[in-house]
Amino acid sequence: MTLLLYMLILVIMAKKLLSSSCPSCGLSMQTTAMSCAACGVKIEGNFSETFFGKLPPEDQKFLEQYLLAGFSIKTLEQRSSLGYAAIRSRLDRLIANYEALKKMDAQKKAVLEQLRTEEISVAEAKEKLEKLSGD
């Protein structure tokens, strides 16, 4: 592999992952546009996302490493400087973060449904959503 190709791979891999949280209010952001860097085609609309994309960047990177290790703690241990206990701890934290995201999403949907059916006011919905987001 040439040095230039290797450096290009490192640059691509070093790109920062986008956060899925709004920098202003902390609520989840919705993907509404995608574009092709090669030809410039752009599409707009509401696109669904998985909870994996909502995980913090460090959890996404660890999940990728675990996937590439064939979901084997032993293989990941051999490929990294982490020991079994550290890997197990990170996996447990990743699972907890994923479950918390799913729970929070369900709670937010419930609040929005209450608002839709006029069980609560806009102000109450806003307060509940802010509370769920930790603001």
Confidence at residue 55, expressed as pLDDT on a 0 to 100 scale:
83
Confidence at residue 38, expressed as pLDDT on a 0 to 100 scale:
86
- Note the pLDDT tens digit of each residue in 28-70: 677 788 888 888 899 988 877 788 877 888 898 999 999 999 9
* All structural domains of the chain with their residue ranges: 51-135
Across the range 60-89, mean pLDDT stands at: 94
- Note the pLDDT tens digit of each residue in 1-25: 455 555 555 545 555 555 666 777 6
Residue 106, phi then psi, degrees to nearest 5: -65, -40
Lowest mean pLDDT among 3-7, 95-99, 119-123: 3-7
